[in-house]
Amino acid sequence: MNRDYLQPMKILLVEDNLHDIEITRRAFSQGKITHEIFVVRDGQDALNFLFNRGTFQDREIYPRPNLVLLDLNLPKVTGLEVLSQIKQDDNLKTIPVIIHTVSQREEDIKKSYQLGANSYIHKKMQFEHFIQSINILREYWISTAVLPPP
């Protein structure tokens, strides 16, 4: 099933590094991804966005995402804690959460899957490899996989 012909997806990118945000946006753009990308820069804002709290209360402006692309190393609340809260909530737990991080630590990988991550992608530091990982993500999670409706 090709999602490009369906209603555009809402993607929540949880990333604190401005450079990585820009590279991710460019990679999505090069991949002709026209889906809406929302960006939050720390774990607390991610939870506020997902639970429509604080400045993210308006569901029309801050909709439930179809997919979460989550870094682990975040200020305020860690990516693992964000993942845990998503997967413990009956309204959010069906959202696929893709961990996209520089960490290759075995304990991070294991804990991510134990908490319910749908995929764990090592974030490459070289631009070409970073683009390649985003393209793989796009090909599977956006163009191939059938995701639950928001």
Structure confidence by residue, pLDDT tens digits, 61-107? 999 999 999 999 999 999 999 999 999 999 999 999 999 988 889 99
- 3-142: in CATH 3.40.50.2300: yes
Query: Angle of helix 127-137 relative to helix 18-30, nearest 10 degrees?
Result: 60
Q: Could you say which DSSP state residue 128 is in?
A: H
| Per-residue tokens: 122 | 């090592």
In this prediction, residue 3 carries a pLDDT of 43
Which H or E run includes 63?
none
pLDDT in tens, 24-70: 887 777 756 567 899 999 999 999 999 999 999 999 999 999 999 99
Cα–Cα distance between 32 and 14 in angstroms, integer? 21
